[in-house]
Chain A
Amino acid sequence: MSIFETNTLVVSGVSPEDGIGEAISTRSNIFELTQLAEASVLRPMEYGMFPHDVRAALAYRIAANAGETQLAEHYAAAFGDNYNIAQSRIIEEKLDSTLIPFVDKAAHATKDIVAEDILKLQAVGVSDADIVRLCELIAFVAYQVRVVVGLRLMNGGI
């Protein structure tokens, strides 16, 4: 796979012929690792309480709320029946009414996160391992959103 076929570069719309293509090629290892990281957080073998379709739905939600509609569309293809999570309708009230606000806060108001936010997840039965898995997913998508936005700016887009 060419690095220009990795999801991050495809979504950002950058091609090898673009003016920034040469600079991107000098960091090909970083885009290869970014592609691996996406697979590790979106489609891990040990997914805990977050199956792949739920992860895709959450990734969609994080990207869409960050204004990154093209990245959101990339994730939309994978979330199947979990459309409700992406649109923040409550499926399992006790869990989702805690989980979704946490995802939104950690993704978009990171500075406001406090210890109580983690305690709330633990109180509804989310294990410590699943809290770490969830934070890795949120954090990766936050990274990917910014790489895509930055590359698009570099390439002369908005």
Chain B
Amino acid sequence: MSKVLHKFTRKVPKWRPRVKPVKLADATPAQLEALKVTPSSTKVSEYVLTLAHDVEILKVRSPLFNAIMYDKGGMSRSERELGAIAASMVNRCVYCAAVHADRHDKLSSSTEVTDKLLARGMNAELSPRDAAIFNLARKLSESPPQANAEDLMALRKVGLKNEEILDLILSTSLFGWANRLMHVLGDPIQLAEDE
């Protein structure tokens, strides 16, 4: 038995696609190249196999994702994750929010921020710096985007430099993309044994 999760959670759920993923055994050479796997591989996620229906963008999106979230310099990785969490909360991507809350916790060696976000959502009382970051990311994620000059000024007031603000805009925007794949193409599932 399994059930679809609608509330944000810390425990990373399973993701169940709403469309049929590509079967690895039937994958074309172009799909295998994009997946960077051999037909005998067994550890390709259903999410990636779903995205393998469109290999041209999959081949570009993976390095773009890695560059935005992991490249050195600029904003700390944990703060980029905060942008990802804010976008995922606006777009209600329960799976993305859980994965990136977990990454934020590990990178910052603390659950303090995500405890507050999971308990109080958009009304969480964060430190001035985290609040300015979360607020810009939340408002940029709305549709149409609601971020304004005041929100930008708030980031500068808590000491963010241009390189950091740019990384926040990129990581938040990237999750505007990721959420529209993960949340639209599948469901976050809690398995019975996890209850």
A residues lining the B interface (CB < 8 Å): 19-20, 22-24, 26-27, 29-30, 33-34, 36-37, 40-41, 44-46, 65-68, 106-111, 113, 115, 117-119, 122, 128-129, 131-133, 135-136, 138-140, 142-147, 149-151, 153-154, 156, 158
Contacts and interface: CB of A to CB of B under 8 A. Distances in A.
26 contacts: A30-B67, A30-B68, A37-B57, A66-B143, A66-B145, A68-B144, A106-B180, A108-B144, A110-B93, A110-B184, A113-B184, A117-B184, A135-B180, A139-B176, A139-B181, A142-B176, A143-B176, A146-B145, A146-B173, A146-B176, A147-B173, A149-B145, A150-B145, A153-B148, A153-B152, A154-B169
A67 B140 CA distance: 12
Instruction: Report the 9 A-B pairs with minimum CB-CB distance, sorted nearest first.
Output: A150-B169, A111-B92, A139-B180, A146-B173, A128-B19, A67-B144, A23-B162, A143-B177, A132-B53
B172 A146 contact: yes
A93 to B, nearest CB: 24
Contact of A23 (B71, B166, B183): B166
B54 interface: yes
Nearest to B151: A153
A118 B153 CA distance: 40
B contact patch SS: helix
Contacts of B181: 135-136, 139
A37 B149 contact: no
Given A67-B145, A138-B180, A146-B145, A133 B173 contact: no
A140 to B, nearest CB: 6
Nearest to A24: B166
B195 to A, nearest CB: 21
Contacts of B18: 115, 118-119
Contacts of B64: 30, 33-34, 37
Nearest to A129: B53
Interface string B55-80: 11101110110011001011000000
Contact of A158 (B67, B141, B148, B178): B148
A118 to B, nearest CB: 4
A73 B38 CA distance: 43
A58 to B, nearest CB: 13
B98 to A, nearest CB: 15
A153 B173 CA distance: 14
A47 B152 CA distance: 38
Contacts of A44: 54, 56-57
Given A40-B60, A150-B140, 11 more contacts: A37-B60, A37-B64, A44-B54, A46-B54, A67-B145, A110-B183, A111-B90, A129-B54, A139-B180, A143-B173, A153-B147
B56 A27 contact: no
A24 B187 CA distance: 36
A20 B68 CA distance: 17
Interface in B135-167: 140-141, 143-145, 147-149, 151-152, 161-163, 165-167
B141 to A, nearest CB: 7
Contact of B184 (A26, A68, A135, A147): A135
B185 interface: yes
Contacts of B114: none
